[in-house]
Amino acid sequence: MSTTSVVPEALPELDEPYSVSEQQLKQFWRDGHIRLNGVCNADEIAAYREVIREAAYANFGDMPDMAERDAYGKAFMQTLNLRYRHAGVKRFVLSKRFSSIAAQLLQRDRVRIYHEQALFKEPGGAHTPWHQDQYYWPLATDRALGMWMPLSDVSLEMGPIRFASGSHKEGFVGQHAISDDSQAVFDELVAKRGYPNWQQAMSAGDATFHLGWTIHGASPNVGTGMREAMIITYFPDGTRVDELSNPSREGDAKHFLGGRAPGELADSDMNTLVYP
> Nearest Cα to 168, choosing from 206, 210, 214, 128?
214
The answer to whether position 188 is within a domain reads: yes
The answer to whether position 14 is within a domain reads: yes
The answer to whether position 189 is within a domain reads: yes
The model's pTM: 0.94
Cα–Cα distance, 116 to 79 (Å, whole number): 9
The answer to whether position 40 is within a domain reads: yes
For Cα atoms 68, 74, 77, give the angle at the middle one, nearest 5 degrees. Answer: 115
Q: Please determine, for residue 164, whether its predicted confidence score (pLDDT) is greater than 80.
A: yes
| pLDDT tens, residue by residue, 81-104 | 999 999 999 999 999 999 999 999
The answer to whether position 2 is within a domain reads: no
Q: What pLDDT is attached to residue 1?
A: 40
- How many folded domains does the chain comprise? 1
Residue spans of alpha helices (H) in the chain: 22-31, 42-59, 71-75, 87-93, 96-106, 180-193, 247-256
Task: Phi first, then psi: give them for residue 100, nearest 5 degrees.
Answer: -70, -35
| Residue 218 DSSP label | E
Grade residue 243 by pLDDT with cuts at 50, 70 and 90.
very high
The answer to whether position 1 is within a domain reads: no
Q: What pLDDT is attached to residue 5?
A: 54
What's the mean pLDDT in 222-234? 97
Q: Please determine, for residue 62, whether its predicted confidence score (pLDDT) is greater than 80.
A: no
Cα–Cα distance, 67 to 59 (Å, whole number): 22
Domain containing residue 229: CATH number: 2.60.120.620
Rg over alpha carbons for the chain, rounded to the nearest Å, is 17
Domain that holds residue 232: 10-275
Three-class secondary structure of residue 63 per DSSP = coil
Grade residue 68 by pLDDT with cuts at 50, 70 and 90.
confident
| Residue 20 DSSP label | P
Grade residue 15 by pLDDT with cuts at 50, 70 and 90.
very high
Q: What pLDDT is attached to residue 7?
A: 63
What's the mean pLDDT in 155-180? 97
The answer to whether position 104 is within a domain reads: yes
The answer to whether position 52 is within a domain reads: yes
> Nearest Cα to 198, choosing from 32, 45, 14?
32
Q: What pLDDT is attached to residue 6?
A: 61
Task: Phi first, then psi: give them for residue 211, nearest 5 degrees.
Answer: -75, 155
Ramachandran category for residue 263: left, alpha or beta (phi over 0 → left; psi -120 to 50 → alpha): left
> Nearest Cα to 137, choosing from 13, 275, 241, 19?
241
Least confident of 22-26, 122-126, 134-138, 160-164: 122-126
Using a 10 angstrom Cβ sphere, with 0-12 exposed, 13-18 middle and 19 or more buried, the burial of residue 264 is middle
Q: Please determine, for residue 185, whether its predicted confidence score (pLDDT) is greater than 90.
A: yes
Q: Please determine, for residue 64, whether its predicted confidence score (pLDDT) is greater than 90.
A: no
| pLDDT tens, residue by residue, 186-223 | 999 999 999 999 999 999 999 999 999 999 999 999 99
